[in-house]
Amino acid sequence: MAFDLPPLPYSKSALEPFLSERTLEFHHGKHHKAYVDKLNELVGGTNLATKSLEAIVAATVETKRRTEIFNNAAQASNHALFWKSMRPRGGGSPSGELAQGIQRDFGSFDKFRKQFTEAAVGQFGSGWAWLVLDNGELKIVKSADAMTPIAYGQTPLLACDVWEHAYSLDYQNRRPDFVAAFLDHLANWDAASVNLHLADKD
């Protein structure tokens, strides 16, 4: 069974002016596709070929000789969530159960926003900022390179990619401006709420 590049949940121009069609063409069509293609090459004919991305991540995270498999599986999974973490006319603040959880665990949405921004902007080099569910508690974590909260048993609800190629065509080196645009105009709180609901049912 080969892994497929998941289609974007919107058109390549749908996130403009905050992320350009050109950025999505390169980021989804080349970077994400390269991870999927390389993963298929690495696991083809092995017992990993029939497993889910999450199962491959769990099976390879602490195995040095399988680092390349882990990196490509994790990045394929990370990007799949990243695309769903954004939507046209997104941003603002969540409602319902997710809003209540943010109030409970961060004190307010403004405090959440500040902590998320600090994690995303403060991640040294390439990596990710995440809103996760960890043993029933909402947390903000950041990770370097391909590392994913899945490897630590956490459930990612929302992902912000802060690898430079995620924003450099539109924002050059202004990562704080990209993170602000993500939170103010792109974040898909509906999808994060669905992820929280599904995690609560497990």
- In the chain the domains, ranked by start, together with CATH numbers, are 21-84 (1.10.287.990), 96-201 (3.55.40.20)
| pLDDT recorded at residue 181 | 98
Taking the C-alpha atoms of residue 45 and residue 187, their distance in angstroms, rounded to an integer, is 38
Predicted pLDDT of residue 202: 65
161 pairs with which residues across the strands?
Answer: 128
Beta carbons of 156 and 149 less than 8 angstroms apart: yes
Residue 62 has pLDDT above 90, yes or no: no
pLDDT at 63: 81
Q: How far apart are CA 83 and CA 46, in angstroms?
A: 29
Q: What local confidence, expressed as pLDDT, does residue 187 receive?
A: 98
Q: What is the pTM of this model?
A: 0.96
Residue 2 has pLDDT above 90, yes or no: no
Average pLDDT score over residue span 47-57? 94
Provide the β-strand partners of residue 74: none
Q: Does 199 score more than 80 pLDDT?
A: yes
